[in-house]
A and B are shown apart, each in its own frame.
Chain A
């Protein structure tokens, strides 16, 4: 039993290492760009104007209401084929990128992450105490200033635990890249199983690596949470959390 494990870990260590790096890469890009897209989406989503919030609402609704794997297939096979059908595209210089599953994976993950995060941020923005916004308005701040000085810092404090969960969710979502032939951690494990027929050793090794990533992420994000709440009173701190807990 252990000989098999050692065999898998020594013979296929480069596959697992490459897979690990690709997983981290997919995760980092998805989280960074997902967050950047989520912020304007969330701001539009809390607008009082129906035609402003309709589009982000539909976007969030569709991306949260359908399986990520269906979105990925839609993007890679569906849109991929539409692109491939364009006249002369296969001779174009961009074709090397347009047929690479990597970009389709990234695009799907970024949009999916953006939808989930926008929904969390919407909850966070709506849970900023009204008095603080009124006070800022009374001080003569413009809406943009209020967002920058009051709403966003407050929102990050409120949503941080849910945001952490979402990052871990995205990490697990990157495993779907293996279904479109990407060799990230799960893809590497699947390939090892196909070679060696040792499912326990390969899948459990991959699982342990995922757990280590989750552990390190959780630890790091806890540290950032302390920083975000550095200027808060302890008691107040708890009441804000309790308030947000019901809605996020």
Chain B
């Protein structure tokens, strides 16, 4: 059934790369998001300005442009850096996969920082005060009080972001990473059957986003299991 001119396996391999892309970006996106959110809520004005401008700039620029900038610009930057350190011109290539991961993490991190900022602000101040009164250190407060609740408040937003992330990985096909859409484009070209191949690609993406929605709704239920329903 899943023959596709003998390219069914190719498409599944592409699916695997898409999953790899998503899961590789995820931790970087969360770290950048937490850093961005902490910067925005910082006591220092300069950090707040950095955090805010990060979001404002990334939000206004197309993802595709960021991907292209990092792919083409990143190679030059690394080469210049290598030249500066090594003293001689070397040819360095950043793999398309990793430049794609960097671009998507940068973009999604900006949106994640908004999600985490909102989540941090919805933690009641009284709890933080109570923890301080108990003598907890800021690190302990973060680990014991903030983080477990952050997760619960941030989940709906992260759900949205992960949907966007899955769809944005398709953009990396533009710089040649062999994910679903790239595989479909190659198949469409060689077999002269674009309609079939893009239909399969869309079905695969739809399956991924649907699974992600399902997993997140389970996680949301789990995260709020200790909360009484109104």
Q: Which residues of A contact B (CB under 8 A)?
A: 61-62, 65-71, 73-74, 77-82, 168, 171-176, 178-179, 186, 189-190, 193, 199-200, 203-204, 206-207, 210-211, 213-215
Q: What are 27 of the A-B contact pairs (CB < 8 Å)?
A: A61-B206, A65-B163, A68-B167, A69-B170, A69-B171, A69-B174, A70-B170, A71-B202, A73-B181, A73-B194, A77-B194, A78-B188, A79-B195, A80-B194, A81-B194, A168-B59, A168-B60, A175-B62, A175-B64, A189-B65, A190-B68, A193-B72, A199-B69, A203-B69, A203-B72, A207-B65, A210-B62
Q: How far is the CB of B32 from chain A (nearest CB, A)?
A: 19
Task: Find chain B residues with CB under 8 A from A171 CB.
Answer: 62
A74-B202 in contact (CB<8A): yes
The residue in chain A whose Cβ has the minimal distance to the Cβ of B69 is A203
Task: Find chain A residues with CB under 8 A from B184 CB.
Answer: 70, 73
Q: Name the one of B59, B163, B198, B209 contacting A78, with C-beta atoms under 8 angstroms.
A: B198
B72-A199 in contact (CB<8A): yes
- For chain B, the bracket of interface size reads 35 or more
Task: Find chain A residues with CB under 8 A from B64 CB.
Answer: 175-176, 178-179, 186
Task: Find chain A residues with CB under 8 A from B65 CB.
Answer: 175, 186, 189, 203, 206-207, 210
The residue in chain A whose Cβ has the minimal distance to the Cβ of B203 is A66
Chain A proximity mask over B160-172: 1 for CB below 8 Å, otherwise 0? 0001001111110
Knowing that A65-B206, A213-B60 are A-B contacts, what are 8 other residue pairs whose CB atoms are under 8 Å apart, sorted by A's residue number?
A: A69-B171, A70-B205, A71-B202, A77-B198, A186-B65, A203-B65, A207-B61, A211-B61
Q: Which residues of B contact A (CB under 8 A)?
A: 57, 59-65, 68-69, 72-73, 76, 163, 166-171, 173-174, 181, 184-185, 188, 192, 194-195, 198-199, 201-202, 205-206, 209-210
Q: How far is the CB of B211 from chain A (nearest CB, A)?
A: 11
B198-A65 in contact (CB<8A): no
B195-A81 in contact (CB<8A): yes
The residue in chain B whose Cβ has the minimal distance to the Cβ of A212 is B60
The residue in chain A whose Cβ has the minimal distance to the Cβ of B60 is A214
- Given the complex of chains A and B, what is the CA–CA distance between A67 and B57 in angstroms? 23
B194-A215 in contact (CB<8A): no
Q: Name the one of A73, A199, A215 contacting B68, with C-beta atoms under 8 angstroms.
A: A199
Task: Find chain B residues with CB under 8 A from A214 CB.
Answer: 59-60
Task: Find chain A residues with CB under 8 A from B209 CB.
Answer: 65-66
Q: Name the one of B57, B166, B192, B195 contacting A82, with C-beta atoms under 8 angstroms.
A: B195
- Given the complex of chains A and B, what is the CA–CA distance between A166 and B97 in angstroms? 29
Task: Find chain B residues with CB under 8 A from A215 CB.
Answer: 60
- Top 5 nearest A-B pairs (CB, nearest first) are A175-B62, A67-B170, A199-B72, A214-B60, A78-B195
Task: Find chain A residues with CB under 8 A from B199 CB.
Answer: 74, 78
The residue in chain B whose Cβ has the minimal distance to the Cβ of A72 is B198
- Given the complex of chains A and B, what is the CA–CA distance between A168 and B56 in angstroms? 12
